[in-house]
């Protein structure tokens, strides 16, 4: 019997007694009261298919490529599902988790900003403010204590309400669950989980290509290496060594011995040696980065891909994933759960965004190589899904698939003839890739259907749909050009430093993230200069002017809607929301440079990145999917309605904070 099974049995034995009634009586003041459902399902299984688009689903249904979805629809129902505003994955999945709008859970974008420093940060997890307590000995610093990393999502979780009445819950790779909440539910964290270096997926690429130079490459690192007698030595960078007086990344050595005649290489990384042929991927390799000699190291895992040995040598190294057998930070609950998965199934990706889109955008992986890596991800997820499905005998199970979302981001250009990167050759080579992945997801849905008993309930949902991303809009450039954002000298219109040279004493508004626009308010922003009485007039003017912007090349509207936060958010966290949410028109999105506070010269330009599909636009244009094995009697379901629906169906109380409404069964 596993550790988590023993944990569950002891907990359930305790709950079976009168403590259930006593405990729920004590909680009555915290929850809406609701009579238990008279038609409660046995088990409830939810498959989260990130990015499944209702229009593509209908297309593939009509083509006969989704037979299991067709069976599920015939048994129950198919709806488009209203997504979050903005329709970004951490926001949308937080709506689902909490049954609340962002005004309660507090996640408004992939990127947030610190109103004190005016610097951006990842919105779902952050190290607590405060200084670490350290002891310096020679060239090393011994941390005595340091602020913990905290999950920034607020509000309830529906599984806590289920666990409160003794219903076992397993939540696997749910986005916005890093670090995992302290809960009775078995949890493996999903999107938002960093790699070992603290980023969201930093690849390494080692090459002797004379046209390349050592540099950072948009989410990765390209290292120029030199061979001597077909042997090269280099270093793989890991986490910053906080034990050093002068912190810098810890490293492990890589020794490469290439054999161009055989098209192969012998690669020793840390203490592991592998032999790879050109075009071959390694299994997972353990690496340990030394932090404090003979005392402390950080455990990670990587996969290698030998791109080529002759011409220009190329070795891709995946981002260093947190070792699930020895995690440096919590990634599961109970903590031993990730270790038990390694014992039972082997090593696996732990970083939150697994498919290496950045390596494709940087040209390190080709289209074919990216598809191969993405297929590895799907097959790994499918293996783990089958494992959990086989032992799912009661309660609630959530399982997440990411491949459709990332493939849609990267290969929309193969379907969209209007995209600047579309070519007939690309369409011939990769136009069927998304359809193939939809079919693979359909096969996973078939596995769930086969395990469904009478009285069980299967839900398949996506957080949003998809749209083309052809043109990009530099929001901060527009704000600068229109006088809402000011600099203390000639603006630096190229550069990677957020808000470089901004004069906050004269800046009225600024953009952060994919959809957020903030006023520089007195009393909220540290350098705020906008008086409270000016806010209504300023937001109204910005809304009017932004919605009037037209693309000079096409004449099309760039922005479909600008939403005032007070009109769409309710709850205690609404005070932290952007003042305006920019809902882009189909075909447009915030530019890559504007998201973190850049302001290039050009306001509107083509998107020439392989990341060619997106959903961070007006939410009405990218609804998600809801498939249910039980027919629902509802006109317009929303993501935030599903948590209270599940709770009501399983006889659990609905937390008073939930802004969603339980859906009725037909």
Q: Is residue 311 part of a domain?
A: yes
Cis amide bond preceding 213, omega within 30: no
Q: Is residue 518 part of a domain?
A: yes
Mean local confidence (pLDDT), 202-216: 94
128, pLDDT greater than 50:
yes
Mean local confidence (pLDDT), 607-618: 98
Which of the four pLDDT bands, split at 50, 70 and 90, describes residue 26?
A: very low
The maximal CA–CA distance of the chain, rounded, in angstroms, is: 77
Task: State whether residue 233 is helix, strand or coil.
Answer: strand
Q: Is residue 167 part of a domain?
A: no
Q: Which residues pair with 512 in a beta bridge?
A: 516
Mean local confidence (pLDDT), 315-344: 96
Structure tokens, 604: 């509107």
355, pLDDT greater than 50:
yes
Cα–Cα distances (Å) from 129 to 147, 268, 521, 527, in that order, read: 7, 40, 22, 19
Structure tokens, 464: 């949003």
Q: Using a pLDDT cut of 90, give the percent of the chain over it.
A: 84
**Total structural domains in the chain?**
2
Angle 66-72-73 from CA coordinates, rounded to 5°: 90
Are the CB atoms for 458 and 398 separated by under 8 Å? no
Average pLDDT, the chain: 91
pLDDT of residue 200: 84
- The structure tokens 């405060």 sit at 130
Those residues whose C-beta lies under 8 Å from the C-beta of residue 355, and which sit 6 or more positions away, are 370, 373, 374, 377, 402, 403, 406, 407, 410
Are the CB atoms for 61 and 70 separated by under 8 Å? yes
In 3D, which of 338, 303, 46 has the Cα closest to residue 189? Answer: 338
Which of the four pLDDT bands, split at 50, 70 and 90, describes residue 6?
A: very low
Which of 297, 322, 347 finishes a domain?
322
Q: Is residue 218 part of a domain?
A: yes
Residue 261 C-alpha from the chain's centroid:
42
In 3D, which of 107, 5, 7, 92 has the Cα closest to residue 616? Answer: 92
In 3D, which of 517, 487, 518 has the Cα closest to residue 500? Answer: 487
Please report which helix (H) or strand (E) contains residue 385, including its range.
Answer: helix 367-390
pTM of the entire predicted model = 0.91
Mean local confidence (pLDDT), 639-663: 97
pLDDT of residue 39: 55
Rg for the chain, CA atoms, rounded: 25
How many other CB atoms sit within 10 Å of the CB of residue 527?
Answer: 16
Which of the four pLDDT bands, split at 50, 70 and 90, describes residue 137?
A: low
Q: Is residue 171 part of a domain?
A: no
Could you give phi then psi for residue 384, rounded to 5 degrees? Answer: -70, -35
Are the CB atoms for 320 and 249 separated by under 8 Å? no
What is the rounded (10 degree) CA torsion for 235, 237, 238, 243? 90
What is the rounded (10 degree) CA torsion for 80, 82, 83, 86? 130
Those residues whose C-beta lies under 8 Å from the C-beta of residue 574, and which sit 6 or more positions away, are 102, 103, 565, 566
Cα–Cα distances (Å) from 403 to 51, 219, 450, 611, in that order, read: 9, 19, 22, 14
DSSP 8-state assignment for residue 559 = E
Task: State whether residue 311 is helix, strand or coil.
Answer: coil
375, pLDDT greater than 80:
yes
Which of the four pLDDT bands, split at 50, 70 and 90, describes residue 24?
A: very low
Q: Is residue 62 part of a domain?
A: no
Q: Is residue 252 part of a domain?
A: yes
pLDDT of residue 138: 55
Which of the four pLDDT bands, split at 50, 70 and 90, describes residue 665?
A: very high
Euclidean distance between CA atoms 205 and 184, whole angstroms: 41
Q: Which residues pair with 231 in a beta bridge?
A: 228, 257
pLDDT of residue 292: 78
Compute the residue count for the chain: 666
Q: Which residues pair with 518 in a beta bridge?
A: 510
Q: Is residue 503 part of a domain?
A: yes
Query: Which residues constitute the domain of residue 593?
Result: 469-620
Are the CB atoms for 614 and 483 separated by under 8 Å? no
Euclidean distance between CA atoms 146 and 274, whole angstroms: 38
Q: Using a pLDDT cut of 70, give the percent of the chain over it.
A: 90
For 244-282, write each residue's pLDDT tens digit: 777 889 999 999 999 999 999 999 999 999 999 999 999
Which of 322, 349, 378 finishes a domain?
322
Which of 322, 342, 365 finishes a domain?
322
Mean local confidence (pLDDT), 485-510: 93
For 38-56, write each residue's pLDDT tens digit: 456 689 999 999 999 999 9
Give me the CATH number covering residue 533.
3.30.1360
pLDDT of residue 302: 98
In 3D, which of 440, 423, 420, 439 has the Cα closest to residue 431? Answer: 423
Are the CB atoms for 649 and 157 separated by under 8 Å? no
- The structure tokens 């069976």 sit at 71
Angle 526-194-214 from CA coordinates, rounded to 5°: 90
For 62-109, write each residue's pLDDT tens digit: 999 999 999 999 999 999 999 999 999 999 999 999 999 999 999 999
Structure tokens, 616: 């961070």
Are the CB atoms for 402 and 409 separated by under 8 Å? no
pLDDT of residue 293: 73
For 99-121, write each residue's pLDDT tens digit: 999 999 999 999 999 999 999 99
Euclidean distance between CA atoms 664 and 666, whole angstroms: 7
Residue 544 C-alpha from the chain's centroid:
32
2, pLDDT greater than 50:
no
Structure tokens, 429: 């080579």
């Amino acid at each position: 019997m596993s550790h988590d099974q023993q944990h569950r049995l002891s907990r359930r034995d305790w709950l079976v007694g009168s403590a259930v009634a006593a405990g729920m009586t004590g909680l009555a003041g915290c929850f809406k009261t609701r009579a238990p459902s008279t038609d409660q399902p046995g088990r409830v299984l939810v498959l989260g298919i990130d990015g499944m688009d209702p229009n593509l689903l209908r297309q593939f249904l009509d083509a006969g490529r989704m037979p299991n979805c067709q069976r599920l629809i015939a048994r129950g129902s198919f709806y488009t599902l209203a997504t979050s505003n903005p329709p970004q994955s951490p926001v949308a999945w937080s709506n689902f988790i909490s049954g609340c709008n962002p005004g309660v859970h507090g996640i408004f974008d992939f990127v947030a900003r610190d109103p004190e420093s005016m610097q951006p940060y990842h919105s779902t997890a952050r190290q607590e403010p405060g200084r670490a307590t350290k002891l310096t000995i020679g060239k090393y610093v011994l941390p005595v204590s340091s602020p913990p990393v905290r999950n920034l999502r607020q509000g309830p979780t529906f599984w806590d309400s289920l666990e409160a009445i003794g219903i076992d819950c397993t939540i696997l790779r749910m986005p916005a669950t890093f670090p995992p909440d302290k809960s009775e539910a078995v949890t493996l964290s999903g999107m938002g989980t960093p790699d070992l270096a603290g980023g969201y997926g930093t690849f390494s690429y080692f090459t002797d290509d004379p046209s390349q130079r050592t540099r950072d490459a948009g989410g990765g690192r390209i290292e120029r290496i030199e061979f001597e007698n077909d042997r090269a030595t280099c270093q793989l960078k890991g986490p910053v060594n906080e034990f050093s007086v002068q912190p810098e990344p810890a490293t492990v050595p890589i020794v490469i011995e290439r054999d161009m005649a055989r098209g192969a290489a012998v690669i020793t990384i840390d203490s592991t040696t592998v032999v790879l042929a050109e075009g071959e991927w390694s299994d997972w390799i353990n690496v340990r980065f030394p932090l404090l000699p003979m005392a402390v190291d950080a455990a990670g895992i990587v996969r290698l891909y030998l791109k080529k040995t002759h011409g220009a040598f190329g070795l891709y190294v995946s981002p260093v994933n947190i070792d699930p057998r020895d995690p440096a930070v919590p990634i599961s609950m109970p903590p031993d759960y990730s270790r038990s998965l390694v014992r039972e199934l082997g090593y696996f990706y732990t970083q939150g965004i697994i498919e290496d889109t950045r390596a494709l955008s940087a040209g390190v992986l080709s289209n074919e190589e990216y598809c191969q890596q993405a297929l590895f991800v799907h097959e790994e997820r499918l293996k783990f899904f089958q494992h959990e499905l086989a032992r799912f005998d009661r309660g609630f199970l959530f399982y997440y698939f990411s491949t459709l979302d990332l493939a849609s981001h990267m290969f929309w250009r193969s379907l969209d003839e209007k995209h600047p990167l579309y070519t007939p050759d690309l369409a011939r080579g990769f136009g069927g890739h998304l359809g193939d992945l939809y079919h693979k997801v359909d096969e996973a849905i078939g596995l769930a259907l086969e395990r469904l008993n009478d009285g069980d309930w299967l839900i398949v949902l996506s957080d949003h749909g998809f749209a083309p991303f052809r043109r990009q809009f530099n929001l901060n450039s527009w704000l600068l050009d229109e006088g809402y954002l000011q600099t203390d000298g000639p603006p630096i219109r190229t550069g990677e430093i957020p808000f470089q040279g901004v004069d906050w004493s004269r800046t009225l508004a600024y953009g952060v993230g994919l959809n957020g626009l903030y006023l520089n308010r007195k009393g909220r922003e540290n350098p705020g200069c906008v008086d409270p009485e000016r806010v209504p007039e300023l937001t109204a003017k910005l809304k009017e002017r932004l919605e009037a912007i037209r693309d000079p090349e096409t004449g099309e509207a760039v922005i479909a809607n600008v939403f005032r936060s007070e009109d769409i958010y309710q709850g205690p966290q609404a005070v932290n929301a952007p003042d305006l949410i920019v809902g882009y028109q189909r075909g447009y999105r915030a530019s890559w440079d504007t998201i973190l506070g850049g302001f290039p010269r050009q306001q509107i330009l083509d998107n020439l990145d392989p990341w060619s599909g997106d959903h961070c636009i007006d939410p009405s244009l990218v609804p998600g999917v809801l498939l249910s094995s039980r027919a629902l009697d509802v006109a317009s379901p929303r993501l935030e309605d599903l948590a209270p629906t599940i709770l009501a169906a399983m006889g659990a109380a609905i937390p008073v904070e939930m802004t969603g409404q339980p859906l009725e069964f037909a």
